[in-house]
Amino acid sequence: MNDNEQLITDDNSYSGSDSESESSLNDSGSYESSFSDCSSDEETESSDDLTQVRNFCELDITNPPSPPPRFPFTANPAVHLNIDLSNGTLQFLDIFFDDNLLEIIVSETNKYADRTIRNSNLRRKSRAKKWEPTTKNEIQVFLALNILQGIVKKPDVEQYWSKRHSTSTPFFTKIMSYRRFHLIHRYLHFSDDTKFDAKTHECPKLQKLWPIIKHLNTRYRETITPERDVTIDESLMLYKGRLHWKQYIPLKRSRFGIKSFILCESKSGYVYQLIIYTGKDTLFDDNYQHLCKSSQVVMTLMQPLLNKGYCLTTDNYYTSPELADILINRRTDINGTLKLTRKDVPKELQKKKLKLGEICAYQRGKVCLIKWMDKKAVSLLSTIHNPIMIEVPSYKNEVRKKPKVVMEYNNTMGGVDRMDQHLTNYPVTKKRGKKYYKKIFFHLLDVSLWNAFVLYQKHGGKYSHLNFRLDIIDRLIERHGTVNEKKGRPGILPNPLRLTERHFLEVIGPSDKKLRPTRQCFVCCSKRNDFGKRVRKETRYFCPDCDVGLCLSPCFTIYHTKAEF
């Protein structure tokens, strides 16, 4: 617990009896306090909901009323899994990428590949003619290599299979050939395009990825019951291709991309549910169509958590008095920053001029609007705070006073940002890529890895995020991979260390298949004949340090003494 957290008292103390607090929730759930008579009798009598007080009244900052009590938290935060940590890390990823999801990927990829190859005129030497149906094991190895590429970063995918000695990574070649990796990535598919009907589909713009999104959202929700404090924010996945619902958000690191609305657990950053924004056709709950878009986002994401006493933290894109009233009616608290131009915000609060450190507040029922002057004016809305100031030590060992609502907002708003920060370090999503649905799929793989890591930590795991991913890769390769022993052509570029150190010539030893095996001479094969084709010459000798075949004379001398040949 840090110093800031030690200065914050527990708000649960306000949910007790009336003798402990001037304010309380009555039998209907309405908030009663000394200022509740600000509204007219007609408005109070005509209202049956939880927000009986309709007019905002200014509070006396020198003697503020007690904060509104929180709604009783009736949920039971837990992870709904029977997992033994000794069984390894892979079981946490298997929760989301289970057999059902892998079956969808395998079947749709094979169907799409067969349909595409059958309906296209391929060149005689096209790689697609060597396509063979993929399997669950191969798809999981394919995913493992994509995760590894987010850790071992290179400018181009083909570089992972490069034979240049200074940049080679032989592990990729041993696990899967580049041609096979490229073919799987090329035909990777997640839905049947032949059965698509725009008039009947739930979300037409995401039809290519809809089975994956639907499956993962369900698994995210079913796996845990989050703790009381949750947060909603948007996340932007970098994408600069042609897509008419692509977003431009200058304050984000990516700026251009595909936006998602995400509901996270505040403390851990676990992604409980997400909605991918697709413009006016974004899929929201039909019960909230009369609300503005930002409120539709909140109510759709919060639907499984309503009426359970959760406390939601949002930024000023979502927060409004209207949304607070709706959430109060569903026994859910909210706090967050606020735009003063929102509907129902008192004009007096908008025009109020404050000096540095000053604070003012208006209240209506459980809804409290607070304006505080820091370096610039900061406006917040809360249903669980009053305008009380607390002392906070600064980095200069000075004691400053800040509103308590500001401190708790800072402590509970970072769930989505924490996830984005970790995904930026080891991104599975490549910067380049024209197919938007493939980029979204790899982004969802990234999110699933993050959720798996959070679950691993909740079970007492000690690995860091990096080591967790590396262990996932190792376990996927061990369980589903096979070592590719097939050797290709010798590397085009010579080993730069051949001109240094001492080198010795050895005879290639016998193998199970051949008693006198040979290899191509590197120097001879770098030459071309009169027809422009490479000369192929076999030799029984090789340099073990450089791992190349070489003729006894003069190729061994040429290779280790001349920079060019």
Residue 467's identity, in one-letter code, is: N
| Strands in 146-243 per DSSP E | 224-225, 229-238
- Whether 149 is in a domain gets the answer yes
* Same domain, residue pair 480 and 516: no
Sign of CA dihedral 289, 291, 294, 295: negative
Average pLDDT for 147-172:
90
pLDDT higher than threshold 70 for residue 21: no
**Torsion angle of alpha carbons 408, 411, 413, 414, nearest 10°?**
170
- Residues 419 and 264: beta-carbon distance below 8 Å: yes
99 closest CA partner among 142, 137, 148: 137
Tens-digit pLDDT profile for residues 535-548: 778 899 999 888 88
Q: How confident is the model at residue 432 (pLDDT cuts 50, 70, 90)?
A: confident
Quote the pLDDT of residue 25.
55
> Taking the model in full, what pTM does it have?
0.81
- Residues 148 and 142: beta-carbon distance below 8 Å: no
* Same domain, residue pair 448 and 545: no
Quote the pLDDT of residue 253.
75
Average pLDDT over the chain, rounded to an integer: 85
- Whether 497 is in a domain gets the answer no
Average the pLDDT over each of 19-33, 180-194, 226-240, 486-500 and give the range with the smallest value: 19-33
The token pair that represents 473 in the structure block: 């890769």
Average pLDDT for 383-407:
87
Quote the pLDDT of residue 493.
66
Q: Provide the angle, in degrees to the nearest 10, between the axes of the packed helices 465-480 and 436-458.
A: 110
Please count the structural domains in the chain: 2
Please give the helix or strand (H or E) that residue 251 lies within, else none: none
* Same domain, residue pair 467 and 535: no
Quote the pLDDT of residue 393.
82
* Same domain, residue pair 512 and 467: no
171 DSSP assignment:
H
- Whether 332 is in a domain gets the answer no
* Same domain, residue pair 104 and 219: yes
* Same domain, residue pair 457 and 522: no
Cβ count near 242 (within 10 Å): 8
- Whether 288 is in a domain gets the answer no
* Same domain, residue pair 554 and 461: no
Average pLDDT for 232-243:
90
Domain that holds residue 445: 83-223+431-485
Please give the helix or strand (H or E) that residue 46 lies within, else none: helix 41-46
Quote the pLDDT of residue 241.
86
Q: How confident is the model at residue 492 (pLDDT cuts 50, 70, 90)?
A: low
Quote the pLDDT of residue 462.
92
* Same domain, residue pair 109 and 183: yes
- Whether 499 is in a domain gets the answer no
- Residues 403 and 372: beta-carbon distance below 8 Å: yes
* Same domain, residue pair 442 and 555: no
Tens-digit pLDDT profile for residues 336-355: 999 999 999 999 998 889 99
374 closest CA partner among 338, 403, 344, 341: 403
% of the chain with per-residue pLDDT over 90: 53
Please indicate whether residue 5 or residue 408 has the higher confidence score (pLDDT). Answer: 408
| Rg of the Cα atoms in the chain | 31
Q: How confident is the model at residue 27 (pLDDT cuts 50, 70, 90)?
A: very low
* Same domain, residue pair 166 and 214: yes
Quote the pLDDT of residue 75.
95
pLDDT higher than threshold 50 for residue 517: yes
* Same domain, residue pair 102 and 207: yes
* Same domain, residue pair 95 and 206: yes
% of the chain with per-residue pLDDT over 70: 87
pLDDT higher than threshold 60 for residue 13: no
303 closest CA partner among 260, 335, 263, 259: 263
Measure the N-to-C terminal CA separation of the chain; round to a whole number of Å: 66
- Whether 298 is in a domain gets the answer no
Tens-digit pLDDT profile for residues 279-319: 988 999 999 999 999 999 999 999 999 999 999 999 999 99
- Distance from C-alpha of 49 to C-alpha of 221, rounded to nearest angstrom: 29
pLDDT higher than threshold 80 for residue 10: no
pLDDT higher than threshold 80 for residue 486: no
Please indicate whether residue 492 or residue 128 has the higher confidence score (pLDDT). Answer: 128
- Whether 135 is in a domain gets the answer yes
- Whether 478 is in a domain gets the answer yes
